[in-house]
Structure 1
Amino acid sequence: MDPGEPMADAFGGPGLLHRVLTHLPVGMGPEAIAIDTRRRRAFVACARSDAVTALDLERHTTIWQAPVGREPIPIIFDAPTERLFTADARSDTVTVLDARTGERLTQIPVGAYPAGLGYHPGLRRIFCGDTAASTISVVDVDRLMPVRTIPAELGAGSIAIDLRRGRGYCANFMAASLTVFDAAALRPLGRIGVGRGPCKVVADPATDQLYVANSLENMVMRISLADGRIRDRIPVERAPVGLTTSGDGRHVYVCNRGAGTISVLDARDGSETHRIAVGRGPGDCAVDPVTGRLLVSNAGSGTLTVVDRPWLAGPERPATHPAVGRRLPDFALPDLHTGRIRTTREWAEKKYVINFFASW
């Protein structure tokens, strides 16, 4: 694929074109992405390089690469202090870097196999999902020290914070659940059962929804932040492990690790409008608030894909035939090879292609 070539969406809808601008080498096994909008930098946690790579978002060049602990997966940028925090899964630490220079400031001990981070800027706290310990470690951002742990469930990882209500949500991969906790009082509030293998959870204030990527079910769940009720389950491609929202309440981007694509969802009704082909094994993504560009980390390619606004000018939704979404009518036709009558009921609940053709 030519990085500068406009690509039509997977469903062929008019107006839903996108342009992949470039694929930037960043290191081995890139996962989470953080953005410094003021200095125009992106920071990528490279799990298999045990490092963080800083990129210039305007020039698309590498600024520095800094070593951290072993297998950094998530990364958080704290704008007031200009510090970066990575959870180093195989070191059981949170590494703190100076975002300007990449200098390592300290390493903070947390629970076993930390694989997710959540951030509450008002409370000056970072919450760390400790996968093997089934806990959430709480870190003071200013004092750079752990302050408490909150019980979670097996496979605790990705964490989202609802800033409006002061609640946190920790995705428990092996328990197929979310632990709900009070971010100020540091105590658990309850549990929400979700699909198998929840890898990423994101709170979207624009829509007041919580999104959960269930990697083992090829599905994204939408949950109301107001009452905790599950709104719907949205099918996507293989192994969704990362996601983000556009910030304006319009779009959700899902990283399908097993397919090498991004599913673009309409946040209004949850429908998938189109897909974007990126690198191998996309693990996470982020939207640059300044340009609206989508940044995608490709764990299998060692690259960061930069996509220029996946919703370029044109109709917001592709035109569809009136029959789309309606139930297929039953019919029966003879098999050309055996003569046996075949009916649509034989393939109920299965995916298949019907090719109607004329023979003269």
Structure 2
Amino acid sequence: MQRTHRVVAEVAVGTGPEAVAVDAKARRAYVACSRANAVVAVDLDSCATLWRADVGREPIPVILDLPARRLFTADARSDTVTVLDARSGERLARIDVGEGAYPAGLGHDPVLRRVFCGNTAAGTITAIDADRLTVVGTVPAEVGAGSIAVDSRRGRGYCANFLAGSLTVFDTAALRPLDRIAVGEGPCKAVVNPVTDHLYVAGSLHSKVLRLSLETGELLDELAVEQAPVGICCSPDGSRLYVCNRGAGTVSALEAGSGLETHRILVGNGPGDCAIDAVTGRLLVSNAGSDTLTLVDSPWLPGPEAPAAHPAEGRALPAFALPDARTGAVRTSREWAEKKYVINFFASW
């Protein structure tokens, strides 16, 4: 079955948009603009910007804590996590994660009410109380700690250590490391799919997405995509996976179960991450190289089947002769050879 998609809008949001979070019910998207040191709110229906809020320097990820309607950014060059009111953009807190930590990744456990920050230079994970907005502990990881995925059902977190080529598995309640999983160079983003019970890891240096079992931690397979995959999201029903190929300016659409790439979506330059609007099914992509947010309409829906070609298509016009309706004289197709003409077929019954 052929698949199709349609780009709905390209919204200018500011310099270096690296990440996007969606509140489908409130009809808003939130974009972290790393070079503008800001978060921008976008109306999902009108595609208009609603507000812009200053945060720390170089906000790379942004996550939405839906129960409290709060936004969290990890501000890499300020060594802070900034907290905003998602409704107004008002700054609620700025949380220090340690001098020289370079926080570049975030994870969220809405059940435990915790936000986890991956500190790239420090090789640690900072745990933050999502309600009190205070640091509650630190977990040792490895150099390059960044993106964090949370398996709330098992109480486990997975921190992608970009430089160490590994995942740090940790207990999200006790805040202690449980395991180390080697995944090769350059793991950039980790995402949990609770429907398939899989963990997906974007291997940006080898243009692959690794699929692991959440139950055992076993590497199941490697899914080939285009150049430098850095961002991933899953569809709400868990059936599809979308991978941002930073080096190619595309998003690969994969079947989550088989890993089969069904098609590729051309977006802006340097796509950093993506998210799904669960109400409309639209895919949102933050393009760090184009300073835009791309909205794509229903990229996983089946498209129309290509119509079958007629047997006469592409062949020379057959010779024919017909009487002229006005004069009765016989006219042949040879009279119009190598000429432009219009034939009007009319039938009456």
**TM-score, scaled relative to structure 1:** 0.83
User: SS of the counterpart of 1:243?
Assistant: strand
**Match of 1:195, as an amino acid?**
G
2:174 is paired with a residue whose SS is coil
CA deviations over 1:42-69 (Å, ceiling 9, x no partner): 0000000000000000111000000000
Residues in 1 aligned to 2:155 and 2:236: alpha-carbon distance in whole angstroms: 19
In structure 2, the residue matched to 1:97 is 84
Structure 2 letter corresponding to 1:262: V
Match of 1:248 among 237, 253, 273: 237
SS of structure 1 residue aligned to 2:25: coil
Structure 1 position 79, deviation (Å): 1.7
CA distance in 1, matches of 2:42, 2:208: 31
* Matches of 1:147 and 1:249, distance apart in 2: 32
- Counterparts of 1:264 and 1:244 in 2: how far apart (Å)? 10
1:182 to 171, 177, 183: 171
Partners of 1:50 and 1:290 lie apart in 2 by 29
Q: Distance in 2 between matches of 1:211 and 1:78?
A: 22
Counterpart for residue 136 of structure 1:
125
1:269 CA displacement: 0.9
Q: Partner amino acid for 2:145?
A: A
Counterpart in the other structure of 1:234:
223
Matched, 1:270 2:259: yes
TM-score normalized by structure 2? 0.85
| Matched letter for residue 28 of structure 1 | T
User: Considering only aligned residues, what root-mean-square deviation do their CA atoms show, in Å?
Assistant: 1.2
CA distance in 2, matches of 1:19, 1:263: 15
Pair 1:60-2:50 in alignment: no
Is the aligned partner of 1:124 residue 2:124?
no
Equivalent residue, structure 2, for 1:216: 205
Contact 2:233–2:241 (CA under 8 A) maintained in structure 1: yes
Alpha-carbon distance in 2 for matches of 1:247, 1:225 = 18
Comparing 59-68 with 71-80, greater Cα deviation is found at 71-80
Letter in 1 for 2:38: A
Q: Tell me the residue number matched to 2:72.
A: 85
Match of 1:292, SS state, is: coil
- What amino acid maps onto 1:90 in structure 2? R
Q: Residue 341 of structure 1 aligns with which residue?
A: none
Contact 1:15 1:312 in 2 (8 A): no
- Aligned equivalent of 1:39, options 12, 17, 26: 26
Asked whether the 8 Å contact 1:285–1:295 carries over to 2, the reply is yes
Residue type matched to 1:71 in 2? E
User: In structure 2, what is the equivalent of residue 5 of structure 1?
Assistant: none
- Shift in Å at residue 32 of structure 1? 1.2
Gaps of 5+ in 1: 1-13, 317-360
Equivalent residue of 2:5, what SS? strand
- Once the two structures are superposed, residues 22-43 of structure 1 have per-residue CA deviations (whole angstroms, 9 ceiling, x without a partner) of 1100111001111112211000
CA drift of 1:314 comes to 4.2
Q: Distance in 2 between matches of 1:25 and 1:148?
A: 38
Offset, 1:266? 1.1
CA deviations 1:186-231 (Å, max 9, x no partner) are: 1000000102101100000011000000101111000000110000
One-letter amino acid of the counterpart of residue 290, structure 1: V
Contact preservation (8 Å) 2:253, 2:300:
no
Return the alpha-carbon distance in structure 1 between the equivalents of residues 92 and 217 of structure 2: 39
Contact 2:25 2:279 survives alignment (8 Å): no
Q: Is the Cα–Cα contact under 8 Å of residues 287 and 295 in structure 1 kept in the other structure?
A: yes
Deviation at 1:80, TM superposition (A): 2.0
Q: Is the 8 A contact 1:204 1:247 kept in 2?
A: no
Q: Which amino acid aligns with 1:92?
A: D
- Please give the residue correspondences for 1:101-112 in structure 2 after superposition, counting only pairs within 5 Å: 101-111=88-98, 112=101
* Partners of 2:244 and 2:250 within 8 A in 1: yes
Question: Is the 1:213–1:221 Cα contact (8 Å) retained in structure 2?
Answer: yes
Kindly, what percent of the aligned residue pairs are identical? Answer: 67
Computing the radius of gyration from Cα coordinates, the structure with the larger value is: 2
How far apart, CA to CA, are the structure 2 residues paired with 1:79 and 1:314? 34
Aligned partners of 2:42, 2:59: CA distance in 1, in Å? 17
- The aligned counterpart of 1:156 is 145
State which drifts further: 244-253 or 172-181. Answer: 244-253
Letter of the aligned partner of 1:69 in structure 2?
G
1:207 equivalent among 188, 192, 196:
196
1:147 corresponds to 2:136: yes
Q: Name the counterpart of 2:281.
A: 292
Map 1:313-324 to 2 at 5 A.
313-314=302-303
Is 1:197 aligned with 2:197?
no
Q: Secondary structure at the match of 2:302?
A: coil
> What secondary structure sits across from 2:294 in the alignment?
strand
